[in-house]
Chain A
Amino acid sequence: ETGVTQTPRHLVMGMTNKKSLKCEQHLGHNAMYWYKQSAKKPLELMFVYSLEERVENNSVPSRFSPECPNSSHLFLHLHTLQPEDSALYLCASSQGKRGGSSYEQYFGPGTRLTVT
């Protein structure tokens, strides 16, 4: 399935590095999401973009910086991360509908990040 793609699939970085995660959706959706999934914890919603505008930022540390240049692409820029930031980072997209019922989300395969 190639509806939502993420690169890289695996990333190992030191605490002083700067890296970026990329997400691309080919579904024509208008909302995109970043989630963090740590071991034995529920998915944590980090950021939401609707129509390329950030609409939610769930108290995420500033060392995570999202960017949404258009409705098909979403980036997560990483800098000076901590070891506890090691997790699976998942991107998702959906087709939101104003005033109507919510549509389901489609997830990318995730980037498994290890901070050393």
Chain B
Amino acid sequence: RKEVEQDPGPFNVPEGATVAFNCTYSNSASQSFFWYRQDCRKEPKLLMSVYSSGNEDGRFTAQLNRASQYISLLIRDSKLSDSATYLCVVNLDSGGYQKVTFGTGTKLQVIP
């Protein structure tokens, strides 16, 4: 089983649609979780952290289910500018630095 698994997509959705991405992780000791966004030929950039209580940032909502080792990202009212690859990231704090594992990413294409 991969350490972090994501559906690679692509997800092709019309503008204004709601889209959800899922991610599962294998190490139950993982401590922190993030969603990053990577545009084509650019570096990954932090989208949002994921907290157990769930958190929202504008049109984006992230959820964590530790019991099921599952993370989700919901995007409401999709914009063309949301087109990118969304990377699920799982961290394990290891004495002052993070052992970081990236998922393969889910590609989103928002269509006019």
Binding site for B on A (CB under 8 A): 30-31, 33, 41-43, 45, 48, 50-51, 55-56, 88, 90, 94, 96-110, 112
Contact = CB atoms under 8 A, between A and B. Distances in A.
A90 B43 contact: yes
A90 B100 CA distance: 14
B96 A31 contact: yes
Interface in B22-76: 31-32, 34, 41-46, 49
Interface of B: 4, 31-32, 34, 41-46, 49, 87, 91-105
A55 B103 contact: no
Nearest to A33: B100
Question: Looking at chain B's contact residues, is the secondary structure mostly helix, strand, loop, or mixed?
Answer: strand
A19 B98 CA distance: 28
The 3 residue pairs across chains A and B that have the minimum distance between CB atoms: A50-B97, A107-B43, A102-B91
B32 A42 contact: no
Contacts of A48: 97, 99
